[in-house]
Amino acid sequence: MHPRRRKLASIDSPLQHHFVGLEQQHEASTLGMWVFLVTEIMFFGGLFTLFTVYVTIHAEAFAEGSKHLDLLLGSVNTAVLIGSSFTMAMAVKSAQLGQRKPLLGFLVLTMFLGCVFIGIKGIEYTHKFEQHLVPGRNFHLDSPVAQNVQLFFSFYFAMTGLHALHMVIGVGVLTWLLVHSWHGRFSPTYFWPVEVSGLYWHFVDIVWIFLFPLLYLVARHA
Amino acid sequence: MSTALGDRHENYLNVDSSVKSWLLTTDHKRIAILYLLAATLFFLVGSVFAGLIRLNLMTPYGDLVQAETYNKLFTMHGITMIFFFLIPSIPAVLGNFLIPMMIGAKDVAFPRLNLLSWYVYILGGTFTLVAATLGGVDTGWTFYAPYSTVYANTNVIVTALGIFITGFSSILTGLNFIVTIHKLRAPGMKWSRLPLFVWAHYATSLIMVLGTPVIAITLLLVALERGLHLGIFDPALGGDPILFQDLFWFYSHPAVYIMILPSMGVVSELIACFSRKRIFGYEFVAASSLAIAILGFLVWGHHMFVSGQSVYAGMVFSLLSFLVAIPSAIKVFNWTATMYKGSIAYDAPMLYAMGFIGLFTIGGLTGLFLATLGADVHVHDTYFVIAHFHYIMVGGAMMGYLGGIHFWWPKMSGRLYPEAWSRAAGLILFVGFNLTFFPQFILGFLGMPRRYHVYPPEFQVLNVMSSAGATILGVGYLIPLIYLLWSLRYGPPAGPNPWGAKGLEWETPSPPPTQNFEKTPIVTEEAYAYAPTEAEVG
């Protein structure tokens, strides 16, 4: 171990004063993140519930709206996100084994893939803006169910927008992890900040795994 | 304040008295005090709105304010009292202070998150106060679409964002409590030995964690619909405003249990202590808290019997709403059975607890009227509903809060408050409360609708009674505010356990040291192991 890092590790003991030991602290952090993810499920759950009701009532219009989405870019983004989940899992593994360089590498890769996703999302948003598919006064579509298609795009922007916001927060968390990894704070006895951040990252991916078929593929099943 | 209090031993108050040490504290006890100050402020703000409402209703003709102003008054009253006082009151003040001590822990699981939740609460509160300054909001605390999303000309976005932000404070507090109760219990503190206050807060935390995110997304959608013209609840786009009501009440009905369950936890502690008995049916009282939390999520449709919801849904919601009465009644019967043949002492906290039982029973039973489909059509949106939920929220939650504040004040401040004054205040509150809200049951039954600034002259007598009662109620709230502050300097030292109560929080000095306990306690007995009453008899 690098001498400077060993010194840091002994001064900044990761054990917080109110825990009995590192194991208790690990369990508390993990449970805390799982409970937080439950709140996230309820948060997105409200939107998914509304979407389910409306996709039933306005099936035709939602199918039409779906056809205006860019299937290629959506598919690429799905692949990018699944890839980022893999690199995140590898980052967790590296942290558990105390391998600093692989940890740094996988964190950077995960952040890169996250940024690619957000970038592609930005391109899609720009296209929608140009095609007058953003809800509001600029919305324009020659269709008998244009109003209901606007409802579809309200969901599209609310759901993917909130998802993208979660991605941005995730990249922020990864930056924080990167700084701490750089200073060698993580070790086989103190790795769970990477682990619980990984839980969050995977959760955000899973949300997309639900969003992609609901929004992009809803018109293509028959 | 702190120097006057802590001249005997080093404790959480006198350890450092700088402002910075308070604003950056991660001590759950100090954060509880921060919440106490802020919640009291919001209570005073909400009370001013209530006072203006009652003043206007002294006469039938709207002599004080116009309809628009009146709409803003009841909206701001509801929003401040519910989101900024009642929901954080007991959990964030008493829960924060007591849960770690009751389970023998040094702090909550995530102390920094705990401090963050206070700042988030203050930020959300600032949004709402700014909205009030800019001219308020007039949608009612319910924000029903499409009025809130399209037609209202008031500060809906700022207020909705304020509540959205404050919701995260509630979520973080609930998350912290759940992890704390699961992972930080002292050796021997089994689930079956947890004080019922902790069980009640566990149930409350579940609601906070499961419900609050739903109101967050709902209000965010309202703000997005107003601000960015997304049209999720807009009928013009094929959206359905009733779905707004579904989502709103999916949180806001369970939110009633966020307000009442902690209060029930307080009452369980008080009744056991001042009856000097183990609580009757501990397991049932604990389980009924969880049952209320779970059933509470299945009854939201009883707010929507006349909204256009399907009749069959209404029937199911009506039935499920009746079921909530079962765990609630279990609590009331078990408290009463605890008092039976107990060695009852009528100290002030016990008066508040007994007031709670009586008022909550009235509030709960009238809830059954409203859960009945046919009866609800008659009294829907009348003062009957107002009276019902004030019996739960003010008669119930507020009485429990004050009872708890009195009970644990010696622990929090290290000082005793004047007993005679506090008993008098309890009685004044009880009388004032009933005079304010009982006439509203009659008004509602006679058909006076809620949310109007004028009313037919034949309702004036009952309205004047209600306003007179509100004045007495105001005096009843003012007296404790004065003598509690007075006691900080002049109250006699309390000692570690002035009530002779059971529970780990009473085994440490008052005020407690920063680490709560000299060394981690080891629990060897069940909760409320009060000795037989021989000592008091002989």
Question: Could you write out the DSSP letters of every residue in A199-215?
Answer: HHHHHHHHHHHHHIIII
Helix ranges (H only) for A68-217 are: 71-97, 100-130, 146-182, 192-211
pLDDT digits (tens, 9 = 90+) for B2-20: 444 445 689 999 999 999 9
Token duo for residue B462: 């009952």
Nearest to B5 by CA among B436, B463, B491: B491
Question: Which residues does B349 contact at the CB level (< 8 Å), separation at least 6?
Answer: B270, B273, B274, B403, B404, B406, B407, B499
Phi-psi region of B479 (alpha: psi -120 to 50; beta: other; left: phi over 0): alpha
Question: Distances in Å between the alpha carbon of B147 and those of B73, B144, B152, B240?
Answer: 17, 6, 6, 13
Average pLDDT score over chain A: 92
User: Which residue(s) pair with B493 in the sheet?
Assistant: B415
Q: What is the dihedral of CA B386, B392, B395, B400, to 10 degrees?
A: -150
Angle at which helices B399-413 and B460-490 cross, to 10°: 10
Distance CA A219, CA A216 (A): 7
Identity of residue A142: D
Q: Is the pLDDT of residue A3 over 50?
A: no
Identify the burial level of B284 via C-beta atoms within 10 angstroms of its C-beta, where 0-12 means exposed, 13-18 middle and 19 or more buried. Answer: middle
Number of H helices, E strands in chain B: 19, 0
Q: Is the pLDDT of residue A194 over 60?
A: yes
How confident is the model at residue B1, as a pLDDT?
41
Q: Is the dihedral of CA B425, B426, B429, B431 positive or negative?
A: negative
* A188 falls within a domain: yes
Identity of residue B66: Q
Identity of residue B157: I
Q: Which residues of A touch B183 (CB under 8 A)?
A: 24, 27-28, 31
| Best residue of A55, A151, A159 to probe chain B, by most B CBs closer than 10 Å | A151
Q: Is B207 helix (H, G, I), strand (E, B) or coil?
A: helix
Token duo for residue B36: 């106490």
* A17 falls within a domain: no
Q: Which domain holds residue A103?
A: 40-221
* A115 falls within a domain: yes
Q: Is B449 helix (H, G, I), strand (E, B) or coil?
A: strand
Distance CA B10, CA B508 (A): 12
The number of domains in chain A is 1
Local mean pLDDT, 10-residue blocks, chain B (538 residues): 55 93 96 98 97 97 95 97 97 98 97 98 96 94 93 93 96 98 97 97 98 96 92 91 96 96 98 96 97 96 93 95 96 96 95 97 96 93 97 96 98 96 97 98 97 96 98 97 97 95 95 94 93 55
Tokens 């799905």 — which residue? Answer: A78
Q: Does A125 reach chain B within 8 Å, measured CB to CB? A: no
Question: Which residues does B212 contact at the CB level (< 8 Å), separation at least 6?
Answer: A39, B167, B168, B170, B171, B174, B251
Query: Which CATH number characterizes residue A148's domain?
Result: 1.20.120.80
Tokens 């109760």 — which residue? Answer: B181
B26-533 CATH fold: Cytochrome C Oxidase; Chain A (1.20.210)
Token duo for residue A110: 């995960």
CB interface of A with B, residues 134-153, below 8 Å: 135-137, 147-148, 150-151
Helix ranges (H only) for B1-144 are: 2-5, 19-23, 28-56, 67-79, 87-88, 96-102, 111-133
Q: Does B221 reach chain A within 8 Å, measured CB to CB? A: yes
Query: In angstroms, what separates the C-alpha of B158 from chain A's closest C-alpha?
Result: 19
Q: How many CB pairs under 8 A join A and B?
A: 110
Q: Does A210 reach chain B within 8 Å, measured CB to CB? A: no
CB interface of A with B, residues 1-30, below 8 Å: 16-20, 24, 27-28
pLDDT digits (tens, 9 = 90+) for A174-192: 999 999 999 999 999 999 9
* A150 falls within a domain: yes
pLDDT digits (tens, 9 = 90+) for B301-319: 999 999 989 999 999 999 9
Q: Which residues of A touch B228 (CB under 8 A)?
A: 135-136, 157
User: Is this prediction's pTM over 0.80?
Assistant: yes
Question: Which residues does A117 contact at the CB level (< 8 Å), separation at least 6?
Answer: A77, A80, A81, A84, A167
Token duo for residue A156: 């599209």
Token duo for residue B285: 């009282």
Question: Which residues does B119 contact at the CB level (< 8 Å), separation at least 6?
Answer: none
**Contact indicator for B268, B200 with CB cutoff of 8 Å:** yes
* A178 falls within a domain: yes
* A164 falls within a domain: yes
A31, closest residue in chain B (CA to CA): B179
* A15 falls within a domain: no
Interior CA angle at B270 toward B266 and B271, to 5°? Answer: 115
Domain boundaries, chain B: 26-533
Comparing CB atoms, the residue among A46, A58, A157 nearest residue B247 is A46
How confident is the model at residue A138, as a pLDDT?
87
Question: Which residues does B17 contact at the CB level (< 8 Å), separation at least 6?
Answer: B2, B3
* A95 falls within a domain: yes
